Chain A
Amino acid sequence: MKNALAAEWLKLRTVRASYGLAGSVGLMVVAGALLSWLIVQDYDTSPAAEQVRFASADNSVVITPVVQFLVAALGALVATSDPRLTALTAVPDRKRLLTAKTALVAAVSVVIGVVTLALSLGGSRLIMGDRPPPIAPWDALGDVLPWAGAAVLSILVTGLAGLGIGLAVRSTAVTIVVVGVLLWGLPAITPMLPEPWNMDASAVMVPYLVWEVAGVIDDAPLGPSAAVAVLALYALVTLGTGTVTLLRQDA
């Protein structure tokens, strides 16, 4: 197992796409900080009557969906970048190969999630300073931990989903399209469904689940525990499909 994991880590470190994804995550953190700064500048020069109508300058809310997508692309990369023939010749025990890939994607996703959220929230705090709500929606970093935890969990789930879909469809491009539909396409459509389907369907979409897991929405259709279960289901279904495909299909 140790050897398979070491090989997967080496594979990830020796392709340019990995550095492109890491750079994109870094760029999002910088862009998020710039966005917060611009909002604060606008806030400071606005009359008091308008200041109370400002949106939050916490950029983690904006960059988390993009980081989810980038981590899902990383999962797809781990699943599909090397031809299966070579991967299975080196590690023919398919369960071992799958475990190594899953452990790698999970670990990297959590690290990216924690670092990104820490930088994004820390940067937002510095930029917002001691300004009042609504532009600074929380007083201390402790207040925002439920949201940060939910965001990291969602990043982990999307990374594993990218891996699972990649193993199932065996194409990086198709995986990225499917992930895009799951993260952005369907959540854009569900609010347009007739009642009560619009609420029911939206409640199980990843972007809303993050808020439900954090428990910060009053009268949310799903409580935090149920939302965690639905989020876990995304990982289980996609990874399960990928597992069945890898274990049963010829290379």
Chain B
Amino acid sequence: MIEVRNLTKRYGDTTAVEDLSFTVHPGLVTGFLGPNGAGKSTTMRMILGLDRPTGGEALIAGRRYQDLDRPLRHVGALLDPAAVHHGRKALDHLRWLAASNGIGGERAVELLEQVGLGGVRHKRIRALSLGMKQRLGVAAALLGDPAVLMFDEPVNGLDPEGVRWIRDLMRGLAKEGRTVFVSSHLMSEMALTADHVVIVARGQLVKETPMEALTRNGSLEDAYLELTSGRGL
């Protein structure tokens, strides 16, 4: 479970996230929706301890991410598939991540096979396609077999096959009882993937609701646009 409590982030005079509170429950795919610049990525970075909140807190299973022992065993995250050393081989990338959290190197080999990258494990990351890099990022997120998974815009730049693969993966992970939190601004994709949605605009919570309640009288896109109209940047 992820609990976000009164989270605030300011950069000088600019407020990126303001007094944001919501909960992400296990067994569901929770979509995190909002216009560009709404504060989705900043919120995710604060949940992972990458950015320091100006106020409030974000807890995973009751603890701050930076206080978790061997955090990859609790949380898997794919925020930016390009945030890798592109000169390193795919397998070596997973091996150092595994080593940092006391995970055996064999798990890295197993996961590369699972995400369809077994054949390119000795290739340098710069030689991989965008879709392959996304899959590598997913493999990195799954390394510690975590109960909580976070994905930031995971289908950006993927072909239809890749999009379906990510969607099925997230649905499958939630079905296993894991907490899956995914940000996106692709409404059609979220409508197919998410069970629950958290909508933000200008860093503030607009709506937290089951998907079913939001789409009862129309499409997710219509509901989203109605809720966020005039709130975008």
Count of chain A residues with Cβ under 8 Å from any Cβ of B?
Answer: 25
A85 on interface, CB distance cutoff 8 Å: yes
* Chain A nearest Cβ from B107, distance in angstroms: 14
* Chain B residue nearest in CB terms to A2: B102
Q: Which of A6, A82, A90, A91 is close to B85, meaning CB atoms less than 8 Å apart?
A: A82
Please name all residues of chain B whose beta carbon is closer than 8 Å to the beta carbon of A91 when the two chains form the complex. Answer: 100
* Band of interface residues on B: 20 to 34
B133 on interface, CB distance cutoff 8 Å: no
Contact B85 A81 (CB under 8 A): yes
Contact A3 B85 (CB under 8 A): no
DSSP majority for the A interface?
helix
Contact B49 A92 (CB under 8 A): yes
Could you write out 28 A-B pairs with CB less than 8 Å apart?
A3-B99, A6-B100, A7-B99, A10-B92, A10-B96, A10-B99, A11-B85, A11-B96, A14-B89, A14-B96, A15-B88, A83-B85, A84-B50, A85-B45, A85-B50, A85-B79, A88-B48, A89-B48, A89-B71, A90-B72, A92-B66, A92-B68, A92-B71, A93-B66, A250-B52, A251-B45, A251-B50, A251-B51
Contact A90 B92 (CB under 8 A): no
B97 on interface, CB distance cutoff 8 Å: yes
Please name all residues of chain A whose beta carbon is closer than 8 Å to the beta carbon of B50 when the two chains form the complex. Answer: 84-85, 88-89, 250-251
Please name all residues of chain B whose beta carbon is closer than 8 Å to the beta carbon of A6 when the two chains form the complex. Answer: 99-100
* Chain A residues proximal to chain B, CB less than 8 Å: 3-4, 6-7, 10-11, 14-17, 81-86, 88-94, 250-251
Q: Which of B79, B80, B100 is close to A90, meaning CB atoms less than 8 Å apart?
A: B100
Contact B87 A15 (CB under 8 A): yes
Contact B84 A83 (CB under 8 A): yes
Please name all residues of chain B whose beta carbon is closer than 8 Å to the beta carbon of A83 when the two chains form the complex. Answer: 80, 83-85
Please report the C-alpha to C-alpha distance between residue A250 and residue B52 in the assembled complex, in whole angstroms.
Answer: 6
Please report the C-alpha to C-alpha distance between residue A86 and residue B202 in the assembled complex, in whole angstroms.
Answer: 27
Contact A17 B87 (CB under 8 A): yes
Please name all residues of chain B whose beta carbon is closer than 8 Å to the beta carbon of A10 when the two chains form the complex. Answer: 92, 95-96, 99
B209 on interface, CB distance cutoff 8 Å: no
